[in-house]
A and B are shown apart, each in its own frame.
Chain A
Amino acid sequence: MSSSKISLRGVTKAFDTKKVLQGIDFDVAPGESLVVIGGSGSGKSVLLKCILGLMAPDSGSIRVDGEETVDFNDHGRARVMRKFGMLFQGGALFDSLRVWENVAFGPIQSDGMKPDQAREVAIAKLGAVGLGPEIGELFPSELSGGMQKRVALARAIAREPEIIFFDEPTTGLDPIMADVINDLIVKCVSDLGATAISITHDMASARKIGHRIGMLYEGKLIWQGPVAEIDRSGNAHVEQFIHGRAEGPIQMQVRRL
């Protein structure tokens, strides 16, 4: 247990009467890539935000490298955040900064790197995600969705984090660009030797970037196992989800006319 990079025990979170997370337990080993799948509103994003400290869980334990992070103060949080990189669903690039400044933001603001040196790091990271140095001079609004995702990935890996989170990395992209992003994620995680947690409902992406898959349903992790075993999970909810069937135990709340 102590060898886990990330360890969650009994994590709960509710908004008013809506219980979003109902006792989540899992461990992620160093270098492992866990993909959490689940429908919209199943609590995937809340789970990531709780681990990152962007949201406080109501109860439970979240350990990073064996260190309890739930009750961290600002200083402790900033220290542990040094281990993390995060690719947000919409990119979350800073509109007012050029692309290279976005990528170099962490090294400059948090690590105190000189701008000239950070610019070189940024250009190298942009190269790692297949973007030329000329892209660095543009603003995020001048980029396509796929390029924004790549820049966000470059920013996530700029500080060479030990842990990387991917929030719906392929949402809104065409299948070819989605596969390009998946390949880049696999390559970047592998090159860094990082531990990764991704949340997605894109099964092609989940199969490609994950070592292990867990399924979140109504705030509970109802199944987890190696990627190769997901097709014989024996769980009706998982079966329905991975095959995208409307009929099954998961009932979408759709009002019939």
Chain B
Amino acid sequence: MNIPLLTVLGRMTLAFFEATGAVTAFAFQALRLSVQPPYYRQQMVRQILEIGYYSLPVVGLTAIFTGMVLALQSYTGFARFSAESAIPNVVVVSLTRELGPVLAALMVAGRVGAAMAAEIGTMRVTEQIDALTTLSTNPFKYLVVPRLIAGVVTLPILVLVADIIGVLGGFLVGVYKLDFNDTAYLRNTIDFLQFQDVFSGLVKAAVFGFLITLMGCYHGYTSKGGAQGVGMATTNAVVSASMLILTFNYFLTEAFFAR
């Protein structure tokens, strides 16, 4: 009874390390190729639009409601200690440091990571990736590198916009529902905000952008079989990207703010 259990455990451990190694090798290959010409600018622009522009509505909605809820929840808590004036500070710091990058990244992982895995996975199973090779085009460079660069470049911009919209959400609730003075709310927001709060969030966003696109591309590129394989690749891309976002978020927070 113990032997099969150990066997299963061993296989799971080996599979984990095998997958980790494969993803790492995939990432290094992408990084190596990203500095070698040719550069597919049109592909990159298309991906920047896909990740950034087309994700704006969903990320914006997430941000504004998060900011609004944050202001409401902070009020119910802080009112007990007569610390309502800290609400603008809590809203802006929470958003810029944590909620802006993490929630935006999770939304993008669901929207863009899944789409990338599905698109590249379909190209794999319909031999379109092989067709690229026969047309003397490195499929890795044509499909993966522009997406990774677009992810790293675009997500910080998206998060910056999300931060602003989120703070606006908190401002609207603070001023129109909780009867804060608008000038005082804005002054509290700006005075307590530090460069590192925003900067750490943007660095997180760049890392999350890399992780989302890496997982989308990796699972799509390595998908096997037909529709079922593509479906599995899509699910795996979203789940693994979400897990990595939350894991890396802790380590990045530790790197920036741990004393």
Chain A residues at the B interface, C-beta cutoff of 8 Å? 49, 52-54, 74, 77-78, 81-82, 84-86, 88-90, 92-96, 105-106, 109-110, 155, 159
Contacts and interface: CB of A to CB of B under 8 A. Distances in A.
Interface in B116-141: 119, 122-123, 126-128, 130-131, 133-138
Nearest to A82: B136
Given A54-B133, A109-B40, A109-B136, 17 more contacts: A52-B133, A54-B134, A82-B136, A86-B130, A86-B131, A86-B134, A92-B126, A92-B130, A92-B131, A93-B128, A93-B131, A96-B119, A105-B135, A105-B137, A106-B135, A110-B135, A110-B137
B130 A49 contact: yes
B142 interface: yes
Nearest to A86: B134
Nearest to B137: A109
Interface of B: 38, 40, 119, 122-123, 126-128, 130-131, 133-138, 142
A187 to B, nearest CB: 21
A88 B138 contact: no
Contacts of A53: 133
B130 A94 contact: no
Contact of B142 (A74, A81, A95, A109): A109
Contacts of A96: 119
A160 to B, nearest CB: 13
Given A52-B133, A81-B133, A74 B127 contact: no
A81 B134 contact: yes
B186 to A, nearest CB: 45
Contacts of A90: 126-127
A85 B134 contact: yes
A84 B137 contact: no
B26 to A, nearest CB: 15
Nearest to B130: A54
B133 A94 contact: no
Nearest to B122: A95
B40 to A, nearest CB: 8
B195 to A, nearest CB: 41
B119 to A, nearest CB: 8
State the 7 A-B residue pairs at the shortest beta-carbon distance, nearest first: A110-B136, A92-B131, A86-B134, A92-B127, A106-B135, A81-B136, A88-B127
A53 B128 CA distance: 15
